[in-house]
Amino acid sequence: MAFELERFIDDCRAAVKSGDSSRAVRELVERAVREPAALTSALGTPERGELQSLHVSDELTILNVVWAPRMTLMPHNHNMWAVIGVYGGREDNIFWRRRKDDPAGRIEAAGAKTIGPGDVRPLGRDIIHSVTNPTSQLTAALHIYGGDFFTEERSMWDPLSLEEEPYDIDKNAAVFAEANARLPTS
When divided into structural domains, the chain yields a total of 1
Which of 52, 172, 74 shows the shortest CA–CA distance to 132?
74
- Please give the C-alpha separations between residue 91 and each of 9, 16, 96, in angstroms, as whole numbers: 23, 25, 16
Flag whether pLDDT at 169 surpasses 70: yes
Q: How confident is the model at residue 147 (pLDDT cuts 50, 70, 90)?
A: very high
Q: Is residue 186 part of a domain?
A: no
Structural domain span for residue 112: 5-181
Q: Return the CATH number at 106.
A: 2.60.120.10
pTM of the predicted structure, to 2 decimals = 0.94
Flag whether pLDDT at 2 surpasses 90: no
Per-chain mean pLDDT for the chain: 95
Q: Is residue 107 part of a domain?
A: yes
Q: Is residue 22 part of a domain?
A: yes
pLDDT at res. 122: 96
